[in-house]
Structures are given as structure tokens and as C-alpha cells.
Amino acid sequence: MATKLLEDLPGVGPATAEKLREAGFGSVEAIAVASPGELVAAAEVGEATAAKIIAGAREAADVGGFETGDRILERRKLVGKVTTSSKSFNELLGGGMETQSIVELYGEFGSGKTQVAHQMAINVQLPKEMGGLNGSAVIIDTENTFRPERIAQMVRGLPPAPDGSEWNAEDFLKNISVARAFNSNHQILLAESAMELAEKTRESERPVRLLIVDSVTAHFRAEYVGRGTLADRQQKLNKHLHDLMRFGDLNNALILVTNQVMAKPDTFFGDPTKPVGGHVLGHTSTFRLYLRKSKGEKRIAKLVDSPNLPDGEAVFSVTMEGLKD
């Protein structure tokens, strides 16, 4: 089926199409998965018109209906996997981190969350025969932890290129787009900007295949203090996570989010460390990984939640050259 323009949808004229594009709805697929309320606010149209536009977009994009399991299995073949650079870590995840999914990393400071994120921003750019996706990465940095020098160190630790040439750190850095988020509203806005960036690069040699949010809960935790604001915080966080999920589905991208932890002092047995974000984040994440420190450079990754993989643990090392076994 030929790609439809926004102007081809029922009830969308040139002026409405321009307003929709300015609001971040640049494709028929983006409109197909939007709610009428979002379109009413974005394009200044009535509820009935918004519903008609969405219905037309769903028909054109062929989304929103039921389909049989065998068709879903066929579509799952499009899902890519990105290597973590550690054999045991890859085995824990069934071959690497999946696109069209949200992978959450949580753990104490120094457990390796940001290091894994840096490594994935490099690995997604590798050719497919080396476990990459020939893609590019977008990073929403809320804690000012992105370091280009660290990327350069990790590039030096990569195995040789298939053609025998040497890797150039600058080439990798050119394919990583980084934005610093200063508060939760800015963070949500940057997720929308990432969608626009992904649409621009979709037909290029390096489409966006990885979106990293490091960390997803830091601003929400700082701005919403006390139980009185908990409902507002969770509602806003839920919408943000669903925006990220939509990004992954529309762009066949991996969503990698890091999360902070809190200690439960009343825990007498077991681990008192619990992830922030409550059930909202727990339910939305496709794969949930708990990282913790071990001796020296070693780190332990525990798969806490997954729709299709058994729980387990993997030991990997964070070295100067990146993640290793």
C-alpha cells in the first residue's frame, strides 16, 4: 500500500495538516495511535472531526484491528536484537535487547546503568553481522551523565570491523543525538522531538533504532514530593512511558530507560532495594533488569520481569574498553 499523506485523510485540509505536523503528528501511523483529545488540542478541531480523522488513519495504516497469532509471529520477525557486548548478558536476554520493547535498568548508583546505556548507543550502530542494527541513537539525559569521552574509550574496545578497517569514535558520536532535560515537562517534550527526528531519518542510512532515557524517574521524583502529588505524578509518568512505547512501535526501535532505586528500611529479610516509579513503571516495562555491584569491575544483571524469558542472572564486567564477560 502506498504511503498516504495527512491531506488524504478525511477532514484534513492543508491548514489542519500543517497544525498536526507542527504538533508532532507527521505520519498517518502517528495519528492512528493518537487519542481524539490529543488531536483536538493539536489541530483545534472538534471531537467528532478528530474521531473521523483517527478512524481514517487507522484504516490507511492498517492498525487497531484483531489479527491471528501466526500473523503476529510473522511480524515479530522484524524485531531486531542489539548485542550488549557480553555473551552471558546476551544469553540472559535471549540474544540481546529487543526493538519494539521498553528495557528498564534499575540499581544503586555505580551499578552500571549508564555504562550499559553508553555501550548500547555504540552497539546499535554496528553492522547486523556484529549484533547491531546499522542505526543511530537518541539520548534524553536528565542527570548530565552522557560523556563523549566514554564513548571514545568504548569504541577502542570494539572487535575489529568485518572489512578489517579501524573504528573511528567521531563517526559513532555523529550518530548519537543527545538532549539534556531540565524538568519533567521538558523531558516529555523531548520525547516528542525525538519522534520528529526519527521521522526525518526513517528513510536514511542510519534510522533511529535506539532511544535512551537516563534516568526516566529523576525529575518526576524531585518535582512531585509527598503523597498528595502521587496520583498526578504517576498519571504523568504513565503518559510519558506510553509515548516512549509508541516511539518504539512506530520506529522499530529499542527503548532503554534507567531507573533510580529507594531503600525500604522496614525490610528485615531479603533485598531492601526497590525501584522508583511504582506499578506504573513495572507494568509498562517489557524487560526489567536489576543491576548490582559485585567484586571489582564485575556487575550482576538479574532479569526480574519478561513476557517470554525465564528469570535468571548474568555476570558481566564494566572495563575501560566497555562491557565484557
Whole-number Å distance between alpha carbons of 122 and 124: 6
Tell me, what amino acid is at 160?
Answer: P
- 8 A C-beta contact, residue 101 and residue 254: yes
Whole-number Å distance between alpha carbons of 114 and 258: 8
- pLDDT per residue as tens digits for the range 140-188: 999 889 999 999 999 998 988 888 788 889 999 999 999 998 888 898 8
Count of alpha carbons within 13 angstroms of residue 81, beta-carbon side: 17
pTM assigned to the model? 0.78
- pLDDT per residue as tens digits for the range 55-110: 888 887 766 567 789 988 887 888 899 999 999 999 999 999 999 898 989 988 88
Instruction: Give the pLDDT band (50/70/90) at residue 239.
Output: confident
Q: Which domains, ranges and CATH numbers included, belong to the chain? A: 6-61 (1.10.150.20), 76-324 (3.40.50.300)
Q: Angle at Cα 243 formed by Cα 131 and Cα 214, nearest 5°?
A: 60
Residue 75, SS3 per DSSP: helix
**Segment among 1-5, 15-19, 187-191, 204-208 with least mean pLDDT:** 1-5
- 8 A C-beta contact, residue 287 and residue 103: yes
Here the cell at position 123 is: 552497539
